[in-house]
Amino acid sequence: MRHLIVGLSLLVTIPALAAPPAPAKSLPKPAVPQSLMQVQMSFAPVVKRVAPAVVNVYARSVVQQQVNPLFDDPMFQRFFGITPQMRQRVQQSLGSGVIVRSDGTILTNNHVVQGGQNIVVVLADKREFKAKVVLADARTDLAVLKIDVKGEKLPTLAFGDSDRLSVGDLVLAIGDPFGVGQTVTMGIVSALARTGVGASDYQFFIQTDAAVNPGNSGGALVTTDGKLAGINTAIVSRTGQYAGIGFAIPANLVKRVLESSASGGTKLPWIGASGQPVTPSIASSIGLPRPGGVLLKSVYGAGPVGKAGLKTGDVILSVDGTAVDDMQALNYRIATHKAGDVVKLHVYSNGKPHDVSATLALAPEDPPRQTTTVSGRNPMTGAKIENLSPATADDYSLDTGTKGVVVASTAPGTPAEGYGFQRGDIIVSVNGVAIHRVGDLTKALEAGQGQWSMVVNRDGRQMQLSVRG
C-alpha cells in the first residue's frame, strides 16, 4: 500500500513541475444534426428510386424425361430393341430482371429464361405480364425481354459507367432471392476484372460481397448514386447459397448487348487473334520488364490486329490505356466497342513498346456455317454440326485458325448425346480421314460401315473415340 501511495504522490506532483498552460482558445460550437439523414446513414432514398425498375422473372418449360435411366444408354436400347418411354416434367426457373427502357424492355440473364416456353414478368407493384424474348445470348449470358404495357411509361434504371468502379466502392444488390420477394443487400466491390469464373464466354466480372442467392440472377447491382453497375449473374459457393462472393456482368457490356438487340442478334467486334497471359518466364525470355499483357499465339492476317501489323509473338499490353492481362480481359475490352471503332493498342514488339491503331470488325463467316444435322446409322446421329470459320471460332471461344468441324448441339435421346458429344467439340478426323468441312464429316461417317475411329478436340485436349455397331 505504501508503494501505491508513493506512486500516486509522484503523479500528483508532475503537473506542478510543468510550464503554465497556454490560455484556452475558444472551441468551435458543435454542429447539431438537422435531419435524420445526418444522424443515420441510409440508402432508402436510392432504393426508393431504383427498386421499381427491378422485376421478378419466372420461366416455365416442359421437358421430356425418360422413365427408366437405363434407357439413357444407346447400347442398351439397341441390344434389347427397346424404345425409351418418355414423360413430361414441368421445370420452372426463378430470377430477376431490370427495366432499362420505359416501353417494357427488360434485361436479365440468359440462364434464367433459357428453354422457357412461358415467361412471366412481375413488376414491383405485383402486376404480371407475359414476356417475349427479343434476344437470348448464351455467350454473354444475357437476355433481352419485352412486355406489352399498352403505352404506359415504366420506371427505368439508368446505366452507369462500370469502368469507373473502384475496389471498395459501396454497391447494392436488388433482386428476388429464393422467391421471397424483392430484397436489397449491401456490400462493396471486392474485385474488378475477374476472369476464369466460367459463367459465360465473356468472363470478365465485377466481384462483390453483397449477399446474392438463387433468384438474384438477372437483378441489378447498383451504385450509391442509383446507376446500374452490372447484372448479378453468379455466386461461388459449396452449398449453392451465399458465401460472400458474387459476380456481376459489367454495365458497359450489358449496354452493348442491349444496343445489338435491335438487329436481332449479338454482333460484337472481333480482335482477330488468340493469346495467352504473359508469365514471369515469358516476360524474361522476351525482355519485357514485368509480366503482363497478352502474348499472341495466332493471328488472322485479315483481322483487325493483323491489319494493324501485329504478328504471332507480339504482346498486347493495353487497350485504350486500360491494361489487359489475359484473353478474357482483351475480348471484353473489344466487346464494349462497335464494329468500325478504332482502338489504340499499346504493344510490345521486337523488344520495344509502341502504340498501334486497330479498326475493329465483325469476324468473317468464311466458309459459310453450312449447319447440318447428322442422320443415318452412326455415332453422331442427332448432332448439329457447322463449318469452322473466324466467326464460328469466335462464337465457340476457339482459337483463331482452329481447323475441323464443330459440334453446335446434340438432340436429347440421340446416339450423339449418348456417346457424349458436346457443344464446341471439334471433329478432327474419322478413320484416319482429315475433316475440314461438313461434307468431309458426313461422307466419312457414311463410309464407316459399322466401325468409326474418331479424333475429337475438346478444350484443347485431343480424345480418341472408337465405336463398333
Lowest mean pLDDT, pick from 42-56, 73-87, 262-276, 445-459: 73-87
Lowest mean pLDDT, pick from 117-131, 147-161, 225-239, 259-273: 259-273
273 within 8 A of 185, measured Cβ to Cβ: no
Last residue of a domain, one of 231, 263, 295: 263
Same domain, 354 and 376: no
Same domain, 317 and 396: no
Write down the pLDDT at residue 223: 95
Domain membership flag for residue 40? no
Write down the pLDDT at residue 187: 94
Same domain, 325 and 379: no
> Model-level pTM?
0.76
**pLDDT, mean of residues 199-226:** 87
Domain membership flag for residue 31? no
Q: Is the peptide bond before 84 cis (omega within 30 degrees of 0)?
A: no
Q: What is the CATH number of the domain that holds 444?
A: 2.30.42.10
407: which 3 cell numbers? 459440334
Lowest mean pLDDT, pick from 100-104, 239-243, 287-291: 239-243
Write down the pLDDT at residue 267: 81
Q: At residue 456, does pLDDT exceed 60?
A: yes
Write down the pLDDT at residue 139: 84
Same domain, 211 and 243: yes
Last residue of a domain, one of 244, 263, 282: 263
445 within 8 A of 380, measured Cβ to Cβ: yes
What is the rounded end-to-end Cα distance, in angstroms, of the chain? 101
Please identify which of the residues 93, 96, 162, 217 carries the catalytic annotation.
217
**pLDDT, mean of residues 239-252:** 85
Q: At residue 463, does pLDDT exceed 60?
A: yes
Write down the pLDDT at residue 16: 32
**pLDDT, mean of residues 357-372:** 93
Domain limits for position 65:
52-147
Count of beta carbons in the 10 Å neighbourhood of residue 124: 17
Domain membership flag for residue 12? no
Q: At residue 65, does pLDDT exceed 80?
A: no
Same domain, 113 and 196: no
Strands (E), 138-182: 142-147, 170-175
Lowest mean pLDDT, pick from 73-77, 384-388, 441-445: 73-77
Write down the pLDDT at residue 68: 55
Q: At residue 28, does pLDDT exceed 70?
A: no
Write down the pLDDT at residue 69: 56
Domain membership flag for residue 1? no
Question: Rounded to an integer, what distance in angstroms lies between the CA atom of residue 328 and that of residue 319?
Answer: 13
Q: What is the CATH number of the domain that holds 114?
A: 2.40.10.10
Write down the pLDDT at residue 77: 57
Determine whether 133 is exposed, middle or buried from the number of CB atoms within 10 Å of its CB (0-12, 13-18, 19+).
middle
Same domain, 182 and 244: yes
Same domain, 248 and 180: yes
Same domain, 379 and 351: no
Domain membership flag for residue 334? yes
Please identify which of the residues 93, 111, 314, 425 carries the catalytic annotation.
111
399 is catalytic: no
Same domain, 166 and 258: yes
Same domain, 130 and 179: no
Quick one: what percent of the chain has pLDDT higher than 90? 62
- Look-up of cell digits 435411366: 69
Same domain, 244 and 291: no
Q: At residue 249, does pLDDT exceed 80?
A: yes
Domain membership flag for residue 403? yes
Domains of the chain: total: 4
141 is catalytic: yes
Last residue of a domain, one of 263, 290, 320: 263
**pLDDT, mean of residues 303-316:** 95
Please identify which of the residues 93, 96, 137, 141 carries the catalytic annotation.
141
Write down the pLDDT at residue 117: 83
Q: At residue 200, does pLDDT exceed 50?
A: yes
**pLDDT, mean of residues 185-201:** 80
Q: Categorize the per-residue pLDDT at 40 as very low, low, confident or very high, splitting at 50, 70 and 90.
A: low
Write down the pLDDT at residue 320: 95
Same domain, 409 and 346: no
**3-class secondary structure, 99:** strand
Domain membership flag for residue 16? no
Question: Rounded to an integer, what distance in angstroms lies between the CA atom of residue 247 and that of residue 267?
Answer: 24
